[in-house]
Amino acid sequence: MEPQFSEAEQARIEDICRRYPTRQSAVMAVLWLAQEKFGALSPPVLRLVAETLGIPTSHVEGVATFYTMYLTERKGKYLLELCTCFTCGECGGREMWDYLMQKLQLNDEGVSPDGLFWLREAECLGACDTPPVLQIEGRRMVFNLTPEKADQVIDMLRRGELPPFESVPVRNSSPQ
């Protein structure tokens, strides 16, 4: 069965398209909506997005494969992205990578034996003052990650719960 958008989703897509100068300009927002609905952007889902926007499938595929936030395949139920760029890497990110690999018994593709977790490295997540940083499903961030925090997050995800939203901590560097 081919993927489809509901009438409500189609109305939402039309609302999104009205915010852009062309329908092609809305491709990123519509891809995100499709990924939220279908879990991954398989070839049939990419075709659906292209048809819905009236643009070439090749353009939609190009955007989906260029940006790492879009998943053309899903390897685990929960995608965990650990920043290992310079700051996070030097401030515990590499050690957290090793910890998560061992704790979750991840294979060479970063997938746990139960298929619940998929770990991959992330380029900078924009929180260099709170390293290391873990992003969950592209929507939740865990700052100042420690083994204890990682254990709490893993336990929550095993229960089917996302950790609560946490704002990026902002440190006031001006003198009082």
Task: Say whether pLDDT at 172 is over 70.
Answer: no
Q: What is the pLDDT of residue 69?
A: 87
φ, ψ dihedrals at 80, nearest 5°: -110, 125
Share of the chain above pLDDT 90, in %: 81
Average pLDDT over residues 76-101: 94
- Mean of all residue pLDDT scores within the chain: 93
φ, ψ dihedrals at 83, nearest 5°: -70, 125
| pTM of the predicted protein model | 0.79
**Complete domains list, the chain, with CATH:** 7-66 (1.10.10), 78-158 (3.40.30.10)
Q: What is the pLDDT of residue 3?
A: 96
Instruction: Give the whole-angstrom CA distance, residue 124 versus residue 36.
Output: 23
Task: Say whether pLDDT at 150 is over 90.
Answer: yes
Residue pLDDT, tens place only, 11-67: 999 999 999 999 999 999 999 999 999 999 999 999 999 999 999 999 999 999 998
φ, ψ dihedrals at 171, nearest 5°: -95, 135
Between helix 27-38 and helix 7-18 the angle, nearest 10°, is 160
Q: What is the pLDDT of residue 173?
A: 60
Share of the chain above pLDDT 70, in %: 95
Among 32, 33, 42, residue whose Cα is nearest residue 1: 42
Q: What is the pLDDT of residue 139?
A: 84
Q: Retrieve residue 56's tokens.
A: 């070439």
Q: What is the pLDDT of residue 174?
A: 60
Asked whether the beta carbons of 50 and 60 are under 8 A apart, the reply is yes
